[in-house]
C-alpha cells in the first residue's frame, strides 16, 4: 500500500469514528438495533443500486461521509497518491471494521 502510515491511521480513525457515531445514534433511537458494519452497507448498496461494484461505491461514500480529504488536511497532502492507492487503503480499513 502506498499510503503513508500516518495518513492511514487518520483514515482509519475517521472511518471508525463515523461508524461509531452512526451506531450510537441508532442505539439511541432503538436500543435493540444491530450495529452497522461494512458488509451490511455493501449488502444494502447491492440491493438498492445498479453499481457494477457496490463495495467500491460503499467504500468511497463512507470515505466522503467521514470527511474526505479534509481528514488529511486537504487534497494537497495526498498528492502522492492516486484513486487506486486510496481505494487499496480503504479496502484495508474496511477489513478492520
Nearest to 10 by CA among 88, 73, 64, 81: 73
In what helix (H) or strand (E) does residue 34 lie, and over which residues does it extend?
A: none
- 1 — pLDDT class (breaks 50, 70, 90): confident
pTM: 0.87
- 15 — pLDDT class (breaks 50, 70, 90): very high
Rounded Cα gap, residues 72 and 93, in angstroms:
15
- Tens digits of residue pLDDT in 22-72: 989 888 888 888 888 999 999 989 999 888 999 999 999 999 999 999 999
Looking at residue 34, its pLDDT comes to 87
Check: CB of residue 11 under 8 Å from CB of residue 93: yes
Q: Provide Rg for the chain, Cα atoms.
A: 14
Amino acid at each position: 500500500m502506498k499510503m503513508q502510515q500516518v495518513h492511514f491511521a487518520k483514515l482509519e480513525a475517521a472511518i471508525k469514528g463515523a461508524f461509531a457515531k452512526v451506531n450510537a445514534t441508532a442505539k439511541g433511537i432503538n436500543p435493540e438495533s444491530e450495529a452497522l458494519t461494512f458488509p451490511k452497507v455493501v449488502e444494502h448498496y447491492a440491493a438498492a443500486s445498479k453499481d457494477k461494484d457496490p463495495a467500491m461505491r460503499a467504500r468511497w461514500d463512507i470515505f466522503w461521509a467521514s470527511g474526505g480529504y479534509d481528514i488529511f488536511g486537504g487534497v494537497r497532502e495526498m498528492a502522492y497518491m492516486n484513486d487506486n492507492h486510496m481505494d487499496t487503503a480503504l479496502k484495508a480499513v474496511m477489513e478492520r471494521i
